[in-house]
Amino acid sequence: MQRTDFHYDLPVELIAQRPLATRTAARLLTLDGVSGVLADRQIIDLVGLVRPGDLLVFNDTQVVPARLYARKSTGGQVELLIERLLDSGRALAHIRASKAPKPGSWLQLQHGARLQVLDKSPAGLYTIASEAMPLAALLERDGHIPLPPYITRPDDAADIARYQTVFARRPGAVAAPTAGLHFDAELLAGLAAAGVQRTYVTLHIGAGTFQPVRVDDIESHAMHAEWLEISAETVAAVAATRARGGRVIAIGTTAVRALETAASTGELAPYSGDTQLFLYPGRTFRIVDCLLTNFHLPESTLLMLVAAFGGHDAVMAAYRHAVTGHYRFFSYGDAMWLTAAPTARAG
């Protein structure tokens, strides 16, 4: 398929710039993967969409304050976005500056700490090192919440809580697993009362999630790498769900990517390491039966994954419906619930 097969026109005013007053106030567009039928609902209607015995799979990654502002020794301003901590003192980072810093140069942060630029990879990522202070502590002190590029305002105090799921517990992401932002304690309790189980995977979302597909033939796209971990407990929870006839419901595309990576050999197994799995129409799904996800950028790999799961034509029609219906898009926006299209099933 071609990249342009995933294009849709989105008025800029539909891009949510701030979260709603409460996490569960969002709208929910549902798509039946078999019939293609759409329905306009609310997030709180999830309690009626699930069934006793179903399993919700959440991504428990925690967003770190990964954006830093610094100055070069010449006085030039620099913006850093930490992609991944390598150890207590080193990290991979994206650096934006009027002139790229040279290896060996130093960057001065607001409160006096310094970072040294060690090298630059062919992919454009810099290795940086903290002079004295552990990087995790430095980020907590000087870092900013790394809001996505389509949110055009500076981060503020409200984002510290709202650009984070209530179940986040494993620091490492530079972007939130946004489908999880819709859940609060009351909704989770309601789902549990409906007989639904839940489990967790970890996938640390990197800045590569926002990188555009630059090739016309999507199969030629080189997918970015992200680190994930799936425990033996989660594998057992999925097996128990299958045994009782329940459905595996992925909360977000990152949960899908984690589960399907760990099942790439045919059976779901514990997994720890990087994934570059790229799911697009023609690829099939071994584990996931239902998906809750936010709306995604035109021509993005995340939209391609959703189209693979729900059916290309049906998903693109749903997006046109969402635009016409003035749904709110992207990280702080509304959500979709999809059941798998017949073409999405493996075997």
Query: What string of DSSP letters covers 161-222?
Result: HHTS-TT--EEEESS--GGGGG--HHHHHHHHHTT-EEEEEEEE--GGGGPPP-SSBGGG--
Measured distance CA(188)–CA(170) in Å, rounded: 19
Considering only CA atoms, which of 232, 223, 231, 233 is closest in space to residue 253?
A: 223
Please give the pLDDT value at position 325. 98
Please give the pLDDT value at position 347. 67
The owner of tokens 């017949």 is: 342
Encoded amino acid at 196, one letter = V
The pTM (predicted TM-score) of the whole model is 0.95
- What string of DSSP letters covers 309-328? HH-HHHHHHHHHHHHHTT--
Q: How far apart are the first and last CA of the chain?
A: 22
Give the pairing type, strands 290-294 and 248-251.
Answer: parallel
Q: State the alpha helices, DSSP H only, in the chain.
A: 46-49, 135-142, 157-162, 185-193, 232-243, 253-262, 301-310, 312-324
For 135-156, b where at least 16 C-beta lie within 10 A, e where not — what string?
bbebbeebbbbbbbebbeeebe
Residue 138 CA from chain centroid, whole number? 24
Tell the burial category of 51 from Cβ atoms under 10 Å away from its Cβ (0-12, 13-18, 19+).
middle
The SS3 of residue 46 is helix
Measured distance CA(345)–CA(31) in Å, rounded: 16
Please give the pLDDT value at position 172. 93
Please give the pLDDT value at position 123. 81
Mean pLDDT of 152-171: 96
Q: Answer yes or no: are the C-beta atoms of 238 and 248 closer than 8 Å.
A: yes
Residues 6+ apart with CB under 8 A from 167: 58, 60, 180, 183, 188, 200
Mean pLDDT of 283-306: 97
The SS3 of residue 259 is helix
Mean pLDDT of 63-83: 93
The owner of tokens 């639904």 is: 196
Domains of the chain with bracketed CATH? 3-63+160-344 (3.40.1780.10), 67-142 (2.40.10.240)
Work out the angle at residue 177's Cα, subtended by the Cα atoms of residues 328 and 8, and round it to the nearest 5 degrees: 40
pLDDT in tens, 85-122: 999 999 999 999 999 899 999 999 988 899 999 999 88
Please give the pLDDT value at position 342. 96
Q: How confident is the model at residue 177 (pLDDT cuts 50, 70, 90)?
A: very high
Mean pLDDT of 290-295: 98
Q: Give the whole-number percent of the chain exceeding pLDDT 70.
A: 100
Report DSSP state, residue 285.
B
User: Which residues, in sequence order, are bridge partners of residue 144?
Assistant: 67
pLDDT in tens, 241-290: 999 999 999 999 999 999 999 999 999 999 999 999 999 999 999 999 99
Residues 6+ apart with CB under 8 A from 131: 106, 113, 114, 115, 116
Measured distance CA(179)–CA(185) in Å, rounded: 15
Encoded amino acid at 294, one letter = N
Q: Answer yes or no: are the C-beta atoms of 171 and 136 closer than 8 Å.
A: yes
The average confidence (pLDDT) of the chain is 96
Question: Where is average pLDDT lowest: 11-15, 123-127, 199-203?
Answer: 123-127
Measured distance CA(176)–CA(161) in Å, rounded: 11
* pLDDT > 80? residue 6: yes
Encoded amino acid at 213, one letter = V
Measured distance CA(115)–CA(14) in Å, rounded: 38
* pLDDT > 90? residue 132: no
